Structure 1
Amino acid sequence: MPYVNVQILSGASKSQKAEIVKDITDSLSRVLGKKPEHTHVVIQEIEEQNWGFAGQLTDEWKKSDADQPDSLPVKEK
């Protein structure tokens, strides 16, 4: 009995979540031969203030990133 836990930032629509569940279920069935009726997919939506990225909470990172001028990242040599 496969159990898949998907954690995403809040904001996905019901139809987007349904597509994720279908795609994951189809993939497990196709690749591993798992029965769809035995496959469980749980989607957990996390608020940006509860998710960290680049050493900051995501909502704060987005605010600081919005303050930066648009530019391409510089490659290190």
Structure 2
Amino acid sequence: MPYVNVQITRGASRSQKAEIVKQITNTLVSTLGKQPEHIHIVIQEIEEEDWGFAGLLTDDWKKQNQ
């Protein structure tokens, strides 16, 4: 029973999340021969102020690099 946890910053649309789930599922089916009904995928959305990148919080990094 594969369990995949995907962490992304907030902002993905429902259709984008559905595509992520579809593509990860397809990869596990084709690569490992797993059954789709045994695959569990969790998408966790993290606020940009709760995610660090390049020594800064992501929201601060984005402000500096716009």
Structure 2 counterpart of 1:72: none
Structure 2 counterpart of 1:14: 14
Q: Provide structure 1 residue ranges, at least 5 long, that are not aligned to the other structure.
A: 67-77
Q: Provide structure 2 residue ranges, at least 5 long, that are not aligned to the other structure.
A: none
Structure 1 counterpart of 2:37: 37
Q: Which residues of 2 match residues 1-77 of structure 1 at below 5 A?
A: 1-66=1-66
Among all aligned residue pairs of Structure 1 and Structure 2, give the percentage whose two residues are the same amino acid: 71
Deviating beyond 3 angstroms after TM superposition, the runs of 4 or more aligned structure 1 residues are: none
Count of aligned pairs between the two proteins:
66
Q: TM (normalized to structure 1)?
A: 0.83
The structure richer in helix per residue is: 2
Q: TM (normalized to structure 2)?
A: 0.97
